[in-house]
A and B are shown apart, each in its own frame.
Chain A
Amino acid sequence: MTEQFEPSKLVELHNVTKAYGPLTQRPQVVLEHINLTIRQHEFVSIVGPSGCGKSTMLRVMTGLTKPEDGEVYYHGKKIEQVCEAMSMVFQTFALFPWLNVQENVEIGLEGKPFSKEEKKKRVLDMVRVIGLEGYEEAYPRELSGGMKQRVGIARALVSEPEILLMDEPFSALDPLTSTHLREEVLHLWENPDLPPEAVVMVTHNVEEAVYMSDRIIVLTARPGTIAKEVKIDLPRPRDPRSPEIYKIVDDITGLIA
């Protein structure tokens, strides 16, 4: 029997509709009839005009918020509560100012059944991998934006999530720093020893999405529906100024604008 190899499905959204406000009155529909599958070894980006429900989609995926209609599945099982196998990186870093780098990263292991020593070991390993070695005792106020976001990424990765969700992770950084951090994140992604089986990134920056992703989900303005899925088969490292990239960026921008 011949069967084509298909990477396993990690998360599935089936006909998801998300609305705010009571359904009996006039709800604000944020996402409508979303069907989406995230597979193993995929870097997926979600792009769309502001207010189209990009970030809400991440929240629905993790089970942080429930859809009004439709289902979310993780490994074929319906998600009923917050999914522990996913962790999130935030645009504004979301660090605790009174905790140092090491302690902020350790927050990612809260509630995990590891001994104190084991936690420390995992935290320090991740700190090293992410380039924060030397900053262990630094507090957020002593860090540049780029270093703060590294802490955010280390905290998300330390629990070895199966899926890494990133909500506009580079938007708060200056263009040079974001160029650098994007590169570092791609290096981490290519490292087979690191846990995430898939990355889902929300961004309003189409060039960034095209440069980094295997697949891009383009959402329409509110209520967000999927306008198009674009597969990007270009090998990495990609040249952000190549005509191929330009063309895809152009096409997607045309869909959004």
Chain B
Amino acid sequence: MTIPRAQIGTVMGLLEVLHDFKGKVDLAKISEELRLELDDILPAVEAAKLLKLIQVSSGDLILTNEGTALLSKNISGRKKELNKMVSNLGEIKGIIDFIKKEHGNEVAKEDLLSFIRQEMPDVDAEQTFSWIVDWGRYSLLLRYDSNNQKIKLAKSPTTKST
């Protein structure tokens, strides 16, 4: 599974909490501090791990250099970094290739759903589509217009990082 399945805000929030704890803290401690059930934190942990922003080692969450670097950037810089990170994830790559090759940089939601069902039979396709759209939008990788239900590749980000 190489599609982040957590809201971006929760992943960034997790990195910020880790940063407050000098880059390393027990998962149970975070749960206690934020009065959050483990189940409510784990999606953010999994997504952050997938993006190599944190490492998990015997119950401890450890901020990686990539995670620290991401935090040090402003909003446009973060989007630019995430653009690279997200587009390097295996399943996202497959989806980008699908949109590129088959459909001239734009594809109907239905077609992408069929692709997801075929390539990832074990996941909820609609839910997966939503995660792809959300991370794709934030990282300026994909655009989605729910009026015409078309998803397309965004132009590469022009924003400056700091």
Contact = CB atoms under 8 A, between A and B. Distances in A.
Contact of A181 (B9, B21, B34, B130): B9
B99 to A, nearest CB: 16
A241 B9 contact: no
Contacts of A181: 9
B63 interface: no
Contacts of B159: 128, 133
Interface stretch (B88-96, B100-108, B112-120, B138-146): B138-146
Given A239-B20, A240-B20, A179 B134 contact: no
A142 B9 contact: no
Nearest to A242: B20
A176 to B, nearest CB: 3
A180 B16 contact: yes
A135 B143 CA distance: 8
Q: How large is the interface on B (under 10, 10 to 19, 20 to 34, 35 or more residues)?
A: 35 or more
A133 B143 CA distance: 10
A138 B9 contact: no
Contacts of B12: 180
B145 A137 contact: yes
A144 B138 CA distance: 12
B145 A179 contact: no
Contacts of A145: 9
A131 to B, nearest CB: 4
Interface string B22-61: 0000000000001110001100100000000000000000
7 contacts: A135-B137, A142-B130, A144-B8, A144-B9, A174-B10, A175-B35, A177-B9
Interface of A: 128-131, 133-135, 137-139, 142, 144-147, 173-181, 183-184, 187, 239-241
